[in-house]
Amino acid sequence: MPGVEVRVEGLTKSFGRANIWSDVTLTLPPGEVSVLLGPSGTGKSVFLKSLIGLLKPEKGSIVIHDTDLVRCSENRLYEIRKLFGVLFQDGALFGSMNLYDNIAFPLREHTKKSESEIRDIVAEKMDMVGLKGDEKKLPGEISGGMRKRAGLARALVLDPEIILFDEPDSGLDPVRTAYLNQLIIDLNAQTDATFLIVTHDINTAQTVPDNIGMLYRKHLAMFGPREVLLTSEDPVVAQFLNGRRQGPIGMSEEKDTAQAAREMAEVDELSGLPPIKPQLDATAGLPERKAVARRQKRVAEMMHTLPPAAQEAIRRSQAESGQAAQQPARQQAAGAAPYGRPDAPPADAPTQSIPRVQDAPLGQPTPPQNLQHNPPQNPTGRAPGGPSSGPGRHRFR
């Protein structure tokens, strides 16, 4: 059964006289990965805090399981919050607690489980994110990537149906961000929970989500399936998703009309829509993501409402995805994932668990990749530059 649907209607939030956003209406489809984008200062993190009841909007509703979180009682809100797992920007770990106690904290606070049960759950979640063996380390003794994963393990211990990620790539280099993106996709394949990610990373927005939304000028500019947003001709959406300087968004969020018009003329000279980047697949050995089929069905139903250029770009992307699915596993992984995968997992590799993330010890550099076009012979048969110990093995800090 997929995760919970989150229905937001007419949501408005202000701080005193400063309006953050108004009349935000969207539905997070159950079991799918959604991304929320927008220029800095548009209230993306405020939106996440409103979803879990930490901030109270002035107008609108947030409906989960027929309960409006804006108007429900404190007791009911407390119960609904147990459906959520949240990964904050910096992990939000308790500095005086080791990783084990940090991750066990929600279980001790919200359940009556015995310490032996808690120990088993914590071990399972730490293994999921590649932190097995690091239970006794303090947050100050580990890298930023490890703190992110510890925060993610803590968000998973109550088996939430909705998981919120507040800029999970903040402070990570592009390589670690790519591994984290793959981990998010693998988690969704394993849990079929509803995910919402706030991010500024364009590659994440183009390759991870099933749905994309964008906040701009105190309103929700657009929200819908990834194919629709990635082929949108809306100037704001197209500028942001393609990382262009030309467009309505400026250094102070909004440009003057004349400058925007001049730059849009430059964009109009470009031919056609950019190709749609393929979405990341779950790592080999994990269940197929059910969210993909649900999203593709919605896209097919609304295809006739899209501009001809968008329809053509979507059909071309679907055809390319179909061709990739017929290629050998190594070729498909190299074209759709941020790292190569071996042809087959070793005999001792897990087949039904989320792949572990492994870090080199602090102070010891990771061996450099071979970047030559003609790599040396590889007697192991593994894909060049791929993981060293099984399908989807992650290494990021």
pLDDT of res. 73: 93
pLDDT tens readout for residues 245-274: 777 777 555 555 555 555 555 555 445 667
With both helix axes pointing from N to C terminus, report the angle between 174-191 and 144-156 in degrees, rounded to the nearest 10.
10
pLDDT band (50, 70, 90) for residue 380: very low
What residue ranges do the domains of the chain occupy? 6-83+160-233, 238-272
pLDDT of res. 92: 83
pLDDT tens readout for residues 58-70: 999 999 999 999 9
pLDDT tens readout for residues 362-372: 445 545 444 44
Q: Of all residues in the chain, what percent are helix, strand and coil, respectively (each to 5)?
A: 40, 15, 45
Lowest mean pLDDT among 63-72, 274-283, 343-352: 343-352
pLDDT tens readout for residues 294-306: 999 999 999 999 9
pTM over 0.85: no
pLDDT over threshold 80, residue 322: no
pLDDT of res. 182: 93
pLDDT of res. 263: 57
CATH number of 6-83+160-233: 3.40.50.300
pLDDT band (50, 70, 90) for residue 19: very high
Residue pair 215/21 in contact (Cβ under 8 Å)? The answer is yes
pLDDT band (50, 70, 90) for residue 146: confident
pLDDT of res. 49: 93
The rounded mean pLDDT for the chain is 80
- Taking only Cα atoms into account, the Rg of the chain, rounded to an integer number of angstroms, comes to 22
160 compared with 240, residue with greater pLDDT: 160
Lowest mean pLDDT among 148-162, 164-178, 187-201: 164-178
pLDDT tens readout for residues 74-105: 999 988 998 999 998 777 899 899 999 999 99
pLDDT of res. 89: 77
pLDDT of res. 251: 59
pLDDT over threshold 60, residue 343: no
pLDDT over threshold 50, residue 335: no
Rounded Cα distance between 314 and 299, Å, is 9
383 compared with 56, residue with greater pLDDT: 56
In this prediction, residues 175-189 reach a mean pLDDT of 90
pLDDT of res. 351: 46
241 compared with 331, residue with greater pLDDT: 241
Nearest to 150 by CA among 189, 93, 112, 194: 93
Terminal C-alpha separation, the chain: 33
Q: What are phi and psi of 43, to 5 degrees?
A: 90, 30
pLDDT of res. 379: 47
Long-range contacts of 260-264 (CB under 8 A, 24+ apart): 260/235, 264/235
Q: What are phi and psi of 318, to 5 degrees?
A: -65, -40
